[in-house]
Structure 1
């Protein structure tokens, strides 16, 4: 392989997954050219894994950036109390149950979880600073969690060029000094929907698609998938 054209179209995902992809792409980009072409979205963890590339291409309407980390914790203790259900946790330390939704979040627990998010956020900011060759302070100014359009992002040095996959391919061809007919091997991910069928059932899944249409069904699948993300995530919440 002489170079890599990475097509990104995602609102993000788990922090650790984004970190692993970031590091793999960074290792590849250290020896060979990498260009990223963003589709509808290249935000949060999807932006994290993109920044090691030497050239980032986004459409003017692409949603990108959204540099930040979120950890969500439900608290159902009040609801259980209303039902007359009491939960007792026997723990080895006072912080051990602070991610348990059946227990109330204490001020100390909130500070502990905030510390985790802050540390992960700092790592994210450093990745962007390294990949985009920007001062950490400048990245922090842009990293309040908001998304930017590709048109906005290019003015902020978050992406390098506006365009589609053809524009990204042209940059890579020029970098490699090859013609536009240079052979390209497409490496496509396998789409596994078994988890969704296991959750809703194959027949219900097909019926849902018939009742509400494929676009609405796709949206519900994406939202359901986000519920399976465990721990802190870097994901654009639309």
Structure 2
């Protein structure tokens, strides 16, 4: 009998503990739900400035485009600050981001704030904004387009390898590392490059209110510091992010003191990659590694490490 009573008491104690932990768990879940609801209500209803980060290699991104469309439709977003820290990316990626930011700016003010690097497609992104701010030491410019390949024919001759290429026409799949570039292939490839370059130059001329002649003088592919970019008209001001908020207050009558909410998108590993992309993107952009990641025409700045 004593054993049965002790067993019963133990079961009762266990049930009490279970109920206690169940109650704690329910309270924690309810508190989390309230906090989450409050956060969404705060970001969805309270007027604020949205800040979106464009970092690393710029590529076409449907999710990013959807986020920008949502910002345009969100009445609680009074303005958007675009923080750019990118050496560039694909022409399509830069063009898509440029077009999306231009549509966003039709609904609310957009300010671009450059970080360490905002070159090539990164600069293409910046000029979509209504106002462009750079640090004095920001690397920017690099207005141009490139397509990279290699010629392995001499190496293959030395090791006794003869490539066999069968194609429908001489200009199919050129440039090709397994073939010497013919004058016709070079001319056709150059025409594609120049067409994309003309598009880029046209964007700069329109957005920076320059003549074509003025734009071509500074659009020779070179990079500039933020100070130089301010002198030649590629940016509007040099300084910190505070310059962007001051401009929004004085020129767009955005109330001072609004909260600034970061807009997050993409998976977690994307952000982990993005934080390290600046250095790895610059110093790992060799011909082969970049060719594996970026397919087609690119507008990207890379220092010559040879």
Instruction: Report TM bin, short chain.
Output: 0.7 to 0.9
Aligned length: 219
Render the CA deviation track for 1:112-170: whole Å, top value 9, x for unaligned.
Answer: 11111111100000011111111122111111100111111111110001111121122
DSSP-derived class of the 1:57 partner: strand
Question: When the two structures are superposed, what TM-score results if normalisation uses the length of structure 1?
Answer: 0.84
8 Å CA contact 2:87–2:118 kept in 1: the answer is yes
Take 2:228 and 2:172, find their aligned partners in 1: how far apart are those partners? 43
Take 2:228 and 2:166, find their aligned partners in 1: how far apart are those partners? 51
Structure-2 change in CA distance of 1:159 and 1:219 (3 Å):
closer
Q: CA deviation at 1:38?
A: 0.4
Question: When the two structures are superposed, what TM-score results if normalisation uses the length of structure 2?
Answer: 0.67
**Which structure's CA Rg is the greater one?**
2
Map 1:17-32; keep pairs closer than 5 Å. 17-32=93-108
Select which of 269, 283, 290 maps to 1:226: 290
Take 2:247 and 2:240, find their aligned partners in 1: how far apart are those partners? 11
8 Å CA contact 2:87–2:278 kept in 1: the answer is no
8 Å CA contact 1:13–1:226 kept in 2: the answer is no
Q: Which runs of 5+ in 1 are unaligned?
A: 197-213
Compute the RMSD of aligned alpha carbons: 2.3
Q: CA deviation at 1:60?
A: 0.7
Q: Which runs of 5+ in 2 are unaligned?
A: 1-76
Map 1:138-217; keep pairs closer than 5 Å. 138-190=214-266, 192=269
Map 1:32-51; keep pairs closer than 5 Å. 32-51=108-127
Take 1:60 and 1:175, find their aligned partners in 2: how far apart are those partners? 22
Take 2:278 and 2:101, find their aligned partners in 1: how far apart are those partners? 28
In the alignment, which residue of structure 1 is the partner of 2:70? none
8 Å CA contact 1:98–1:104 kept in 2: the answer is no
